[in-house]
Every structure is written in C-alpha cells, then in structure tokens.
Amino acid sequence: MTALLEVEDLRVAYGKIEAVKGISFTVEAGQVVTLIGTNGAGKTTTLRTLSGLLKPSGGRITFDGKPLSDIPAHKIVALGLAHSPEGRHIFPRLTIAENLQLGAFLRSDKAGIEKDVQRAYELFPILGERRKQAAGTLSGGEQQMLAMGRALMSQPKLLMLDEPSMGLSPIMMQKIMATIVELKAQGTTILLVEQNAQAALSLADHAHVMEVGEIKLSGSGQDLLHDENVRKTYLGED
C-alpha cells in the first residue's frame, strides 16, 4: 500500500540557510504521525512546505498519489491537506461561526458545510456556545480549538497541526490532546508537530525526532517515549 503522504529527501532553504536538510517520512491513512524537536529544528518549515507556502529546494512530496511540487497552496487544500498553523491565526474580529465558515471556502455544499459546523460544535462545545462572539474574545486554548475546527471544515484527508499545545495550561493542553485522540478514533489522519514530546509521543503511532533540519531518530510513539536519549533530551530527565 502506498502511503497517503510520502516525503522523500525534502530540503527547504531560506536564502542560503538550509532549514530542512533532506528529511524523509511517510504518513499512512488513519495514522497519527508526530514530528518532535526543540525550537528551530525545522518542524514549522516542513509543514509550511507541505502546504505549498514555501518552495522546497530539493526532494519530493507525494500526497494521495500526486506530486505536490508546483501546486499552489489553495489547490493543495482542495486535494485534502489542511493546516492548523503555529500561532493559530484565527480572525479575531470575525465571529466563531464566521471563522469556521472560512475553513470551508472551497466548498459550495451548503448543507454539508452546516453539518460540519455542527460537528465542530460537538467536538468543541464552547465554540457552539459562543458562536456569535468575536473569536478574539476566546482564550488561547479555545482559539486553538477554533483553529482545529476551521482546518477540519475543508474535510481534509490529512490534518496538520503545528504546536497545538503551545502556551496552554496543562488542563487545556490535555483537552486538546484528548481531541486529537478522538479525531483519530473517528478516522482522521494527523501529522502533529509538537515541542511537548511527552504528549505527542503518548498518542502517536509513529514519531520522528528532528534536530537542526534533520530526522535523528524514528520509531513508534511508545518506543521513543521509552528511549533513554529521548527521555534525557526531550522529556527533561537526567
């Protein structure tokens, strides 16, 4: 079986500085795959390249059997790849409902869109309760929920989440992680980028540790969770 996403020897540079130095990994349908690593490892650069926001300087990306090189970002969304970006980037002056609608900008099936809005409210009841309020009034964790809900509105085959736990309280972080587990149980395929290695490894089928642009270690989430070097370097143990 071919993987839903295949990344082969991907390279991405900002000018002369290579931020991603030839990484390879795959995501199979139904899996949660995580990229972990400290600040500056190249995780966000990788996701932005998969989304078509940055151009690779080398390598190949194949999504759902199609090469992604030279496909513009909006067409990549149409192919089924959605991105909940680092920092969330919700529209603070628009309402929660309007933010969700924007995630469906490529769709015209009104009834289907409404069904998926309701699904987002089931997943995150707080969004439903506050649907008519400006999104800027939400807490950081609630804005993260909105960013995830908005990404799901394109009915993606692959959902990419960039640091969903960033800046959140432990309780809110647990809520977000529990939602990722729920989405996986519903069959959503997820590529999760996290600095919070403990949380990400606990729920991932496969994990890759990135350091300064390279994948240094790969394995199942459980294997890496119990790996001595990973525990020392990323889980703060000595």
Ligand X SMILES: Nc1ncnc2c1ncn2[C@@H]1O[C@H](COP(=O)(O)OP(=O)(O)O)[C@@H](O)[C@H]1O
Size of the site for ligand X (CB under 6 A): 11
When binding is defined by CB under 6 A, the residue of 5, 27, 31, 37 that contacts ligand X is: 37
Rg of the chain's alpha carbons, rounded to an integer? 17
Nearest distance in Å: CB 31, ligand X: 21
Residue among 43 and 184 whose Cβ is closer to Mg ion:
43
Nearest distance in Å: CB 87, Mg ion: 9
Segment contacting Mg ion by CB under 5 A, of 35-43, 61-69, 106-114, 123-131: 35-43
**Residue 160 touches ligand X, criterion: CB under 6 A:** no
How far, in Å, CA of 91 to CA of 78, rounded?
A: 21
**Residue 99 touches Mg ion, criterion: CB under 5 A:** no
**Residue 16 touches ligand X, criterion: CB under 6 A:** no
How far, in Å, CA of 170 to CA of 148, rounded?
A: 18
Nearest distance in Å: CB 192, ligand X: 13
Is residue 77 classed as helix, strand or coil in its secondary structure? helix
Interface of this chain with ligand X, residues 40 to 79, rule: CB under 6 A: 40-45
When binding is defined by CB under 5 A, the residue of 44, 51, 179, 188 that contacts Mg ion is: 44
Nearest distance in Å: CB 43, Mg ion: 5
Segment contacting ligand X by CB under 6 A, of 32-40, 120-128, 141-149, 167-175: 32-40
Residue 42 interface partner, choices ligand X, Mg ion, none, CB cut-off 5-8 Å depending on type: ligand X
Closest Cα partner for 144 from 176, 101, 183?
176
How far, in Å, CA of 33 to CA of 200, rounded?
A: 9
How far, in Å, CA of 5 to CA of 32, rounded?
A: 12
122 CB contacts (<8 Å, ≥6 apart)? 128
Size of the site for Mg ion (CB under 5 A): 3
**Cβ contacts of 230-235, under 8 Å, gap ≥ 24:** 230/197, 230/201, 234/36, 234/37, 234/38, 234/197, 234/209, 235/197, 235/198
How far, in Å, CA of 63 to CA of 2, rounded?
A: 10
Closest Cα partner for 82 from 114, 120, 56?
120
**Residue 39 touches ligand X, criterion: CB under 6 A:** yes
Which residues contribute to the site for ligand X (CB under 6 A)? Answer: 14, 17, 19, 37, 39-45
Which residues contribute to the site for Mg ion (CB under 5 A)? Answer: 43-44, 86
